[in-house]
Structure 1
Amino acid sequence: MNHNDSTPLRCLVTGATGYIGGRLVPELLADGHQVRCLARNPRKLRDHPWAGDVEVMQGDVTDADSVSQAMTDIDVAYYLVHALGTGKDFEATDRRAAQIFGEQAKAAGVRRVVYLGALTPTDVPEDELSPHLRSRAEVGRILLDCGVPTAVLRAAVIIGSGSASFEMLRYLTERLPVMVTPSWVHTRIQPIAVGDVLRLLVGCARLPEDVSRAFDIGGPDILTYREMMVRYARVAGLPPRVILPVPVLTPGLSSHWVGLVTPVPASIARPLTESLRHEVVCHEHAVRQYLPEPPGHPLSFDQAVRLALRRVREAKVATRWSSAAVPGAPSDPLPTDPDWAGGSLYTDSRQTPVHAPVSTLWRVIEGVGGDNGWYSFPLAWSLRGWLDRLVGGVGLRRGRRDAERLRVGDSLDFWRVEEIEPGRLLRLRAEMRLPGLAWLEMFAEPDGDEGGSRYCQRALFHPRGLLGQIYWWTVSPFHAIVFGGMARNIALAAARQADEAVVGEAAR
């Protein structure tokens, strides 16, 4: 296989429902390759925009028959699965799966295997590594010994929304302005942006046939975990963090501490925190000889964090009632990312049937604000507007440009119209002073064959730091009054207008 050959390759991607696999597939397609995905639950892939451009097979890497079928007519097989988080025997599961994958790749005549593993220290015997790192090293060794040319990319912390290591960093930094931390905050780490990882994974497909080895990959920065938290806070616009290391916190205790502070599951957080006691820094850069770095790469830690934060809020908020958001870059969230990925996004969702056609309901929705008010507890809205002006915000004084019609970019009291789908969706972004970002969405949906409709409403809040968390939980008890009343009254107003229209028509 000539690495300068541009002939499309047939690629098998395992772990396409996972963090890296789901982001690798569109990159391979963009490079002109044909892609087959092996997934235990193919239905998880259906919301991806590329789902119709790939072949999907159901199977499991621990089942030799399904792996054998998936390997048929494959040039490059990507091994992007691991059993981390599945239980205490994840090392045995990973070992068996890697052996099956390697054996079936050789039997099928696959020309290359590519595996994303983990950076490990060179001065620590393998049996003294954390179970997570030990298993990653063992899987890499098994695949290198399988008889098929194999490229093992070894990475430390991958920076991107959805990466478990990055999510731990995000939640710890955002939720704790003052932290009592384990001693591993002084461990040196060489993080790498997810976009750079994907670039190298795609490039490995065309490595020369005589290349079969492991490569260390990392970004340009070598930082302690403490430095990563400090720099994350700065990029995210958070106040400086106070970090107080406490040597007595063991890996086991610190994993419980991480579990209390973050929503990352303990089955994942524990092995990751145990691994943080090891320094993970690149000891060679041979991958550059085969896959030269393009201008501007690899990205710095700050650049990678900025990309991870850039669209996470918008991509998560853009999720419709009926379909998942479609991100546009490797750093953006995916429909298959776990619920705890992407930072906190709190929602207050309400739906109610409306005895009026969709067109009538939409007129009420498009008419909210200004002189028409917000259909709920006027005193509460007035008080919120007054408080906003007290702290330098715009309050309710702006009103609206037109009493009946809205367009994207219009100001609407202390909201801004962010998106309109005429007859269906109005999304408003809050411009009041808040410790975070907030949106209000209002939908008009058809409901049944009787000419009725359904009103759907979502208030969303993406908190900024600990103050944002406190703000949400302070005001959430009042949502039933404010947002519940709003949903009911908008439905009643639409029904009343529909009745008046019927009476008027009968009078004519």
Structure 2
Amino acid sequence: METTTERQSRPKVILTGASGYIGQNLMKKLKEDYDIIALSRGGDSREDEEHVEWRSCDFYSMDDSLESLKGADYAFYLIHSMMPSAKLTQGSFEDMDAILADHFARAARKNGIKQIVYLSGIVPDDLPEEELSRHLRSRLEVQRILESSGVPVTTIRAGLIVGPQGSSFPILYKLVKRLPVMTLPTWTRTKTHAIALDDVLVALKGSVGNEEVKGRAIDVGGPDVMSYKEMMKQMAEVLGVKRHFIDLPFLTVNLSRLWVTLITGSPKEMAYPLIESLIHPMVAHPDRMVEGISDGKKTFKEAARESLEEERKKKEEAERKRDEPSDDKESKPVAEKIKKSDVRSVQRVTLPEGKDAHWAGEYYLEWLGKALGPFIRVRTDEDGVSRIYIRFFSRPILELSYDPVKSGEDRAVYRITGGMFANAKDAHSGRLEFLMIPDTSDCVVAIHDYMPSMPWFLYKYTQAKLHLAVMYAFRKHLERQGRLGRSSTSKKAGGSVGTPSSIEAQG
């Protein structure tokens, strides 16, 4: 029986994505030695258990992030944003990942987290960053954002993780299972370093509090390095099926991701970025390997067999529970909440040199009135409330209130507090945010939790499209300002032409 002293001596860890594929399995291992604060969007609906406290958290909210990371020693970062997070999601997963990582990093620093352990992907050594796939570039940016917090970060980089209910492995399994004849593009000859889920969990847990790996990126891999074609052949052997493979070098990645999505039924938001990364060799680099952390023990075949067996048992258990009559409502899975009619729209712009998020917010509202002058007017009062009007209308279409309390540290927050276009009564948390990406001139402009007042169909194909067009024009305008600013500074004789504050000159 555990004593009071033993309970008090157990470190406490934050586990993000605790209800996800990696998180659920990692939790089982961590419970042996740690007390866990398990974070999930639906955490409040979960029952706490021994050594596990559930909390709800939306990392798009800075307030949620700060509150959820309280009271912990270490934190695991297992977050990605490939799947839509609102009824209408506009923007790239890379920009959304940047927001999530920034909020987490700031919250970790302010809550005194001692170490962040982050699960990422293996990055090829011999390629410039701009030539990497979107997914790998995003993983690198997330790593840099986490590191900008000043909290020591251990990045565990893995290739294809072999386990049930994952992302890449189920795609491989479904392709081999469903296609008796497989046409293989060039990328199927790319080498990758598969690793069993259990070995990844060992690496993640073994990194906590480990001084040897603090502040480092560590590659991990199993005993097998092989091409995707070789993995498909071994998968066919595990399944006990005969498959024919035909090399088709002219089949591009874009065509590949289309047919892979159609055959496997995987959501394109998840599958496309992953398949784009398959052109890169993802093999653990010896200089980034640490004994006891990097060296996975299970072969691909062993891990594949175990994964399929585990998946079979889970399906049988689910069918058994479904067939059993029960009046115990608590034993039934918690139903997912029906999505409300909310909007998340995220776009990235590059600011002129020396400018920050506070400048961007003020400049955007000023530019909006100038650029759309014949149709739109913007009035900002001394109290920080900006109202956007359609010309000749007495009521504003949107009312934005600058929030000095929530703003700060390269962030400007405007609450959506009214206007004919906003359902402000139900959307009290709607906001427009300007967030700087650490150590860059990039600023993410994001609308969160906005609920439009007009009928959804009408909003989706009018106001939502117009917002994207306006943000595109704003981004292009800033690019011109940046070019003019650089040009003017190169001249020996100074002048006011092209300065970032001259909206009238550039329109």
Q: TM-score when scaled to structure 1?
A: 0.58
- Residue in 2 that maps onto 1:18: 20
1:263 pairs, out of 262, 265, 271, with 265
Contact 1:181–1:243 at 8 Å: present in 2 too? yes
- Residue in 2 that maps onto 1:99: 102
Letter in 1 for 2:141: E
Whole-Å Cα distance in 2 between the matches of residues 324 and 64 of structure 1? 43
Match of 1:220, SS state, is: coil
CA deviation vs aligned residue, 1:410-455 (integer Å, no higher than 9, x gap): xxxxxxxxxxxxxxxxxxxxxxxxxxxxxxxxxxxxxxxxxxxxxx
Identity of aligned residues (%): 36
Contact 2:119–2:158 at 8 Å: present in 1 too? yes
CA separation of 1:317 and 1:20: change in aligned 2, threshold 3 A: same
CA separation of 1:260 and 1:51: change in aligned 2, threshold 3 A: farther
Letter in 1 for 2:36: V
1:307 aligns with 2:306: yes
Contact 2:34–2:51 at 8 Å: present in 1 too? no
- Residue in 2 that maps onto 1:395: none
Match of 1:218, SS state, is: coil
1:35 aligns with 2:32: no
1:161 pairs, out of 152, 160, 164, with 164
Unaligned runs of 5+ in 1: 1-5, 326-333, 338-508
Shift of 1:23: 1.1
Contact 2:146–2:153 at 8 Å: present in 1 too? yes
Contact 2:44–2:56 at 8 Å: present in 1 too? no
Whole-Å Cα distance in 2 between the matches of residues 230 and 116 of structure 1? 28
- Residue in 2 that maps onto 1:171: 174
2:53 pairs, out of 34, 52, 55, with 55
Unaligned runs of 5+ in 2: 1-7, 85-89, 325-332, 337-507
Whole-Å Cα distance in 2 between the matches of residues 157 and 72 of structure 1? 33
Contact 1:221–1:300 at 8 Å: present in 2 too? yes
- The 5-angstrom pairing of residues 89-488 of structure 1 reads 89-208=92-211, 211-239=214-242, 241-284=243-286, 286-289=288-291, 291=293, 297-320=296-319
Shift of 1:275: 0.7
CA separation of 1:287 and 1:281: change in aligned 2, threshold 3 A: closer
Whole-Å Cα distance in 1 between the matches of residues 215 and 334 of structure 2? 34
Instruction: Flag the structure with larger Rg.
Output: 1
CA separation of 1:323 and 1:152: change in aligned 2, threshold 3 A: farther
CA separation of 1:336 and 1:253: change in aligned 2, threshold 3 A: farther
Whole-Å Cα distance in 1 between the matches of residues 323 and 56 of structure 2? 22
- Residue in 1 that maps onto 2:67: 69
Shift of 1:214: 0.6
Contact 2:193–2:222 at 8 Å: present in 1 too? yes
CA deviation vs aligned residue, 1:383-435 (integer Å, no higher than 9, x gap): xxxxxxxxxxxxxxxxxxxxxxxxxxxxxxxxxxxxxxxxxxxxxxxxxxxxx
Contact 2:193–2:283 at 8 Å: present in 1 too? yes
Match of 1:117, SS state, is: strand
Shift of 1:307: 0.8
Match of 1:82, SS state, is: coil
Whole-Å Cα distance in 1 between the matches of residues 147 and 323 of structure 2? 38
Shift of 1:7: 4.5
Whole-Å Cα distance in 1 between the matches of residues 323 and 9 of structure 2? 34
Match of 2:31, SS state, is: helix
Aligned length: 316
Contact 1:217–1:285 at 8 Å: present in 2 too? no
Shift of 1:105: 0.6
CA deviation vs aligned residue, 1:45-84 (integer Å, no higher than 9, x gap): 56xxx85652111111221111111111110111101012
CA deviation vs aligned residue, 1:127-168 (integer Å, no higher than 9, x gap): 111111110111112212320111000001000011110011
Shift of 1:280: 0.6
Q: TM-score when scaled to structure 2?
A: 0.59
Letter in 1 for 2:78: L
Shift of 1:229: 0.2
Contact 1:189–1:223 at 8 Å: present in 2 too? yes
Match of 2:318, SS state, is: coil
